[in-house]
Every structure is written in C-alpha cells, then in structure tokens.
Structure 1
Amino acid sequence: MRNTVKTTTTTAVLAAGALTLGLSACGSDNESGSGASGPLIVAASPLPHAEILTFVKDNLAEEAGLDLEVKEFTDYVTPNTATEDGSVGANFFQTQPYLDDFNKKNGTHIVPLVDVHLEPLGLYSNKVEKADELRNGATVAVPNDTVNEGRALQLLAANGLITLKEGVGTAATPADVTKNPKDLEFKELEAAQTPRSLEDVDAAVVNGNYAIEVDLKPSEDALVLESAKGNPNINLLAVKEGNEDDPRVKQLAELLTSDEVRKFIEDTYSGSVVPSF
C-alpha cells in the first residue's frame, strides 16, 4: 500500500552521546543542504514522515521547482543535531513540546515552520484485548524521553488506569502517579524500542510512527488512543533559526500543507495519521 522510499539514506539508532559529535560537525552549504541554493535535504523518521516527503518529491516538487532530498533517521536525536549543525536543511519528525524540551536541554536553535499531522499515541498489547483486562502488577513500557513519557502517562490517566498529580502535563514521570489501582509497573525504554517490547511486557505505549513501522494500525489495534481534539502534539516541519525565509523550505511548507498531501495522508493511513491543516 505504501510507496518504497528509494532515494533516502537510513541511519542506525544513535546514542545520545552523539550529540557532541553532531554539534561539532559542519559542512559547506552545498553539502549540508542549509544554503539557499542546491537541494534541500530534510531529515525525517521513516514512517510516516519520510513517506510523506517522498510523495511530495515524486509528485509535487519538480513542478514547484524544488530539488528535495530525504534522509531517514530512526532516532529522535540526530535529526535535530543535524539541523543545528547544517548537515540537513530542515527536519520533519517531531512535535512542538518535544522540540521545546530538546532546545532547552541541548542549547539548540530549532524553530517550527508549519504544522502537518498528528500521530495519535496508543497503548498496545499482545496479551489482552482491552485496557481494563490488564492484570494487577502488569508491566507497561513507556517512552523514556521527557515529553513522550509524560504524554504516555497522560494517555493512561485519561483512560482511568492511573491518576497523576494535577498540572504536571507532559512533564509527568512515574513519580507523579498518585493512584495506581492495578499497581502497574513502568518500564522506561527509548521510544523506538517500545513496539519491539510487546513480547516482553504486558502492554506498551507506542508513538504513532513507530507503531506504523511494525505494521500496527493505531486506529484498529490500540487498546486506547490519544484524542486528536485539542491535541498539542502535532508533527511539524522545523528548521534552524535564521533559515525560516529560505525559499526552499517555504516551498516545502506550502507543498506539505497542500490538498494533494491531505488526500495522500487520508488515503494511505486511514486515521492512523491525521492531517492538521
């Protein structure tokens, strides 16, 4: 059902220690994609971000005069460090809360350009079919980065599995759980590993893009799923501060919020990815 991404380069998951290396690496404008001429190189998670970008590349970019290259990353760190150091000209993989937290912790200067879509976070299990069937003492895997862990715990709280301290928002951690009727145990994992933990835990909270990568269908397979209404976790196109007026990224922003991309998202993902424009 999905197009094969033929023009991308996939990287392995990199440790957080790569931050210092990434921030020190610099290249020329033509090599990095950060200059106003040459191809625009965009860092993206494989699904759905790179797939959406590849649709733009194959169907819309040439007519719009945009030379677009897509570079895939399987982690949530390197796309931002690569954007900061100029290795790529933009990235498409993250939400505003995650971006704000990343900039604060790493001293980076990445800014949002345009909102594109929502990937609802979901709770999945290979052992039960309903959330209330989780056994007492069940182990639930959650992402270990600040924003996505808080988002996961908010999902569990919204569905009555736990209660959190009032006002903690996406900064919530397991220490903020005030009521835990089922005595759930939380296993904190790198976000990309949560779907692969399903054989070892009772349930896992999985980001939408990682769910799709392992052929989970959030709209059908999730025990509980984030609501799109009023959700701040919209995935966005981002650039390094100062590059907002690059005509290439402005053109890409326009294409990513076109009627053609809306139809592609709706037809391809059937509610597992929701356009936000």
Structure 2
Amino acid sequence: MRTTSAVIGAAAVTLALSACGAPSEQAAEAENGGGDVLTVGVSPVPHGDILAFIDENLAEEAGLDLDIVEISDYNTPNAALVEGELDANYFQHRSFLGEWVENGPDAELTYITDVHIERLGLYSESVESVEDLPDGAEVAVPNDPANLARALGVLEAEGLITVDPEAGESATENDITDNPRDITVTPLEAAQLPRSISDVDAAIVNGNYAIEANLPEESNVLAWEPEGEDYVEAYANGLVALEENAEDERVQLLAELLHDERVLEFVQESWQGVVLAVDGDGNVVETGGAADEE
C-alpha cells in the first residue's frame, strides 16, 4: 500500500500531482478496469481521517491502493479533478458542487455517494444553555452564504429569532424579521469562529472547525443543527469524480468501502455525533454519542 498525506494549497497542487494522467488518460484507464492507484483529494478533517482509516484497515484486503492528498482550500480539489491531477475528491456537499460547476470550467463532475454530515453546533464558554443567553447576547456565525443561512436556521429552531422564509438558502442577518431577545448576530469567517468564542456569548461553528479546536470537549454545546427532511440531500459531504470516470471500478470500490460497517463505527466513535455518518441508502446512522444527548 502507498499513501501520501500532505496538506497542500492551490499553488502547490499541480506540482504535487503532476504525475497523474489527463482526463482522457483517466477515461482510458476506467475502460480498462482502472489504474493501480486511486488518487483522492480531501479536506484534512474529518475526510482525511476517514480515508486514512480505510487505507489502514480495509483497502489492502479489498485490493484498493489509495493515494490520499490533503488540500487546505475548497477550490483546488475540483480544479485538480478537472485537470486530471486527481481521480476523485471528497470534501464537498451537493450545493457547493453545483455552485462550483455553474461558475467554473466546462466540466461534468458527478456526485457519487453521500458519506457524512458535519453538524453545526451552538457553542459557548460563558453559558450552559440557550435559556441562559442574556438579552442582547452576541452570537457569532459563519459568514459564507450557505453556512450563514444554516446558522440562522439553528437560532430560529431554538426560538431566538425568526427568519423571512422567502430568503431561503440565501438568508442573512438582514432577513431576521423577529428578534424578541435582541440577539446580535455577528458573521465571521468560519475558520475564525472557534477563536471568537471567548469574545462573544456564543458561536455557531462548523463541525470540522469545532473538531480541530476540541470545542465539543472544551465548551458547552447549547444546541445542534436540526435534522430536517432534506438534511442529507442538502448538507452531506460526498465522493465526487469526473462523469466519464464515475463507473471506474476503483471509484466504485471506494464508495463501497466508505459505507462499510467498520467505517460507520469509526465515524460514530471518533466524533460522537458532531460528524454524522450516512449509510449507502442515504440515511443518517443513529449514534449513541454524547452529542445526541443534548
């Protein structure tokens, strides 16, 4: 087995992956049953950890040789896939993919399968429950459009605000129509939110950044993002490949391994409800972790 796990940025990805074939070469490999190594670009946490678990525990027995490339930004993995520098990537949900394709190069990317959801959480160092938030409390939220709307949904589900339903997934703090406790909503860059908690009354933090900062263990969890009817469809992160390589046996084998019972158990045990595993049928796997007891 050969695994490469290196965190790289947009400027370095072409050099780091220059040995990979162009899309036409990848298509030829797919027709011939796939190449020796499947090169997959991932975000480090939890995506990289999940693939590392597969590489260490399942891949050799299954006959899959993984080359895992950790990428520190959100645009490089799709660009590298289009350029043939990756065989697949695993870092994004359908909404992000749709926006990237709409605004990016003329390329057909296929969403292969759902794998997990990184749950938004409302965290605080100063209070222990939503009821304890004082009138006029300041709550920091992610400032990117998709996650800002999600964060407002968390506050609305907890009865703190009401958001104009017509705003939908484009909702911002300006779409708050009712705010009985005069909550101040402060949008910040998502990566900065864990460091902001000591400066505000509470913060809504993406699951990956919460994990990296140990927030579930070191801060009070006041609320979790509610699981709505379309929760998986909207927010599950999944495996993506070029359309012409979607049936590559290596890609399909990885999709199968991502839903192996041992992988689902690893996700449950590692992140205790902050990251929710999604099975092969597109259902959130129930977890008995502490996060679900809130």
Q: So what's the TM-score if we normalise by structure 2? A: 0.79
**Structure 2 equivalent of residue 213 of structure 1:** 212
Letter in 2 for 1:266: Q
**One of 16, 20, 27 as aligned partner of 1:29:** 20
Shift in alpha-carbon separation, 1:274–1:94, aligned structure 2, 3 A: same
Letter in 2 for 1:171: S
- Encode CA deviations 1:196-250: one digit per residue, 9 max, x unaligned: 22123322111111111111228x8421101335313112111233221222211
Aligned twin of 1:8: 5
Task: Tell me: CA distance 1:255–1:84, structure 2 relative to 1, closer, same or farther (3 Å).
Answer: same
- For residues 18-41 of structure 1, the C-alpha deviation after alignment (integer angstroms, 9 at most, x for no partner) is 7xx989x99453499x83324222
Aligned Cα root-mean-square deviation (Å) = 2.8
* Matches of 1:63 and 1:22, distance apart in 2: 30
Give the alignment of 1:60-209 within 5 angstroms: 60-107=58-105, 109-209=108-208
CA distance 1:208–1:178, shift in 2 (3 Å): same
Equivalent residues of 1:122, 1:222 under 8 A apart = yes
Amino acid at match of 2:151: A
Moved more, 124-133 or 155-164: 124-133
The one-letter code of the counterpart of 2:20 is D
Find the aligned partners of 2:241 and 2:96 in 1 and give their Cα distance: 14
Cα distance in 2 for residues equivalent to 1:143 and 1:246: 37
1:139/1:274 CA distance change after superposition, 3 Å = same
Structure 1 stretches of at least 4 aligned residues deviating more than 4 Å after TM superposition: 25-28
Structure 1 residue 56: Cα displacement: 0.5
* Residue in 2 that maps onto 1:257: 259
* Residue in 2 that maps onto 1:247: 249
State the shift of 1:122 in Å.
Answer: 0.8
Q: For structure 2, which runs of at least 5 residues remain unmatched after alignment? A: 30-34, 280-294
CA distance in 2, matches of 1:273, 1:8: 21
* 1:182 counterpart SS class: coil
In 2, distance between residues paired with 1:41 and 1:203?
39
CA drift of 1:78 comes to 2.7
Q: CA deviation at 1:261?
A: 1.0
Q: Distance in 2 between matches of 1:100 and 1:181?
A: 36
Distance 1:221 1:234, change over 3 A: farther
Identity %: 43
The correspondence for 2:40, drawn from 25, 39, 42, is 42
Q: Which protein has the larger Cα radius of gyration, Structure 1 or Structure 2? A: 2
Instruction: Give the Cα–Cα distance (whole angstroms) in 2 for the partners of residues 239 and 142 of structure 1.
Output: 31
Counterpart in 2 of 1:3? Answer: none
TM-superposition CA deviations, 1:172-215 (whole Å, max 9, x none): 11121111223333332332222222123322111111111111
- Tell me the distance in 2 between the aligned counterparts of 1:139 and 1:109: 43
What TM-score comes out, normalization by structure 1 length?
Answer: 0.83
C-alpha distance in 2, partners of 1:26/1:85? Answer: 10
Pairwise CA distance, 1:161? 1.3
- Larger fraction in helix: 2
Inter-partner Cα distance in structure 2 for 1:190 and 1:147: 12
Residue 235 in structure 1 maps to residue 256 in structure 2: no
Decide whether the 8 Å contact of 1:22 with 1:85 is kept in 2. Answer: no
Counterpart amino acid of residue 140 in structure 1: V
